[in-house]
Amino acid sequence: MKKLGSQTVKFENPPSIIGTATIVGPKEGQGRFKDYYDLILKDSIYQEKSWEKAETKILKEAVEMAIKNSKIPTSKVEYFIAGDLLNQIISAGFAARELGLPFLGIYGACSTIAQGAILGSMIIDGGFAENLVAAVSSHFCTAERQFRFPLELGNQRKPTSQWTVTGAGAMVLSSNIQNPRITHATVGKVIDMGEADPNDMGTAMAPAAVDTIIRHFQDTGKTPDDYDLILTGDLGSIGKDIAEDLLKQKGYDISSKYSDCGVLIFYPEQDVHAGASGCACAAVVTCGYVYKEMLKGKYNKVLLVATGALLSTTSSQQGETIPCIAHAISIENL
């Protein structure tokens, strides 16, 4: 049996991450991980006619770069698993139109990169493919106009609000044996603690992250000591604080090795309030910083817990609370 406990999978032949690529916007390029991105755009419209076209283009180029970095010919890539934040995941669908790869479109809001990695790993460990690529994108300007307000509207952002990352991250997964590898995956349940404020996603998502982390430890029998780094997706400073406290209350002290991609991407002086968010948030940190530092051996055991808020403007306007999800993957050098 490859299944551990109720929600976790232990891969028999852990799939390898054989190549990654990240593309980010100019603001992200001034942030903490500026040396880890493959391409930093000078302008987030990227010579396109609309923000949506720009997002499609960065997703497509990130996938092409990742395949190139993996040294596998494109003809050997069997699936393209991708998602984004836009209605009907148009960035992913339109990138797939350009790429011409068999496409599985997925949606997990900002947790999508972990969802893609889990499904991809299952496909590979299940023997249904040898190589595939999982990718996501998000774009500040496309997300703002879909979820919030026109860019030029003179409104004040709340201190709890987060800044959608402009960027794309792609990883090529393979049955070829090389480090780092995806060893475990914990698929999260949708948790809704009754938060309804779309300007405060961190608070809404933290309980989902906590639920998945505890489930992961219980299912695998691992403890926080089994990891060098535990990274949540985009809880931001408020959500991270809450998650840490909730875990401590439940008897798991992870504070010494815990961080959050949303907290890390931008420097505090970049004025993003509670931090970063968006599909690309967890993706560019994982495919950029984490992957490259794992290759160098700075980290050997990383738990990525990507978080997503499964709301829409319609559900928000109808007064619904925010259902949230978190998926965990263990990435290890074996």
Partner 1 sequence: MDFVMAFVVGGLICLIGQILMDTTKLFPAHILVLFVTLGAVLSGLGLYQPLVDIGKAGATIPITGFGHNLVTGVIQDVDQYGLLGVFTGALRSAAGGITAAIVFGFLMALLFNPKSK
Partner 2 sequence: MPIITKEQQEYKNFAKSKRPKPPLLKNMIMAFIVGGIICTIGQFVLSFFISRGLTPGQAGGPTSIVMIFIGAFLTGIGVYDKIGKYAGAGSVVPITGFANSIVSPAMEFKREGFVFGVASKMFIVAGPVLVYGITSATLIGLIYYLLKLL
Residues that bind partner 1 (CB under 8 A): 27, 43-45, 51, 140-141, 144, 150-153, 155-156, 197
- Which residue spans within 30-146 are E strands per DSSP? 39-40, 79-83, 103-105, 131-138
| Min CB(308)–partner 1 separation in Å | 23
Q: Which is nearer to partner 1, 128 or 149 (CB)?
A: 149
The span from the CA of 108 to the CA of 175, in Å, is: 25
- H or E, element range at 174: strand 167-174
Q: Which residue, among 325, 264, 333, has the nearest Cα to 302 in the 3D structure?
A: 333
Q: Which is nearer to partner 1, 151 or 177 (CB)?
A: 151
Per-residue mark of binding to partner 2, 50-89 (x: CB under 8 A) = x---------------------------------------
Taking the alpha carbons at both ends of the chain, their separation in whole angstroms is 21
Structure tokens at 192: 């809704």
Q: Which is nearer to partner 1, 1 or 153 (CB)?
A: 153
Per-residue mark of binding to partner 2, 177-196 (x: CB under 8 A) = ---------------xxxx-
Tell me which stretch binds partner 2 (CB under 8 A): 175-183, 201-209, 213-221, 257-265. Answer: 201-209
Q: Which is nearer to partner 2, 251 or 319 (CB)?
A: 319
Burial class, 214, CB count within 10 angstroms (exposed 0-12 / middle 13-18 / buried 19+): middle
The span from the CA of 204 to the CA of 326, in Å, is: 11
- H or E, element range at 21: strand 16-24
Q: Which residue, among 284, 288, 290, has the nearest Cα to 303 in the 3D structure?
A: 290
Burial class, 68, CB count within 10 angstroms (exposed 0-12 / middle 13-18 / buried 19+): middle
| Min CB(210)–partner 1 separation in Å | 25
The span from the CA of 200 to the CA of 177, in Å, is: 41
DSSP class of 191: B
Query: Does the footprint of partner 2 cover residue 7 (CB under 8 A)?
Result: no
Residues 141-170 that bind partner 2 (CB under 8 A): 145, 149-160
The span from the CA of 167 to the CA of 172, in Å, is: 17
Q: Which residue from 115, 174, 186, 203 is in contact with partner 2, where contact means CB under 8 A?
A: 203
| Min CB(51)–partner 1 separation in Å | 8
| Min CB(259)–partner 2 separation in Å | 17
Number of residues located near partner 2, criterion CB under 8 A? 31
State the binding partner of 4 from partner 2, partner 1, none, CB within 5 to 8 A by kind.
none
Beta partners for residue 169, in sequence order: 22, 136
Tell me which stretch binds partner 2 (CB under 8 A): 76-84, 216-224, 298-306, 315-323. Answer: 315-323
**Contact residues: partner 2, CB under 8 A:** 49-50, 145, 149-160, 192-195, 200, 203, 206-207, 238, 241-242, 245, 274, 319-321
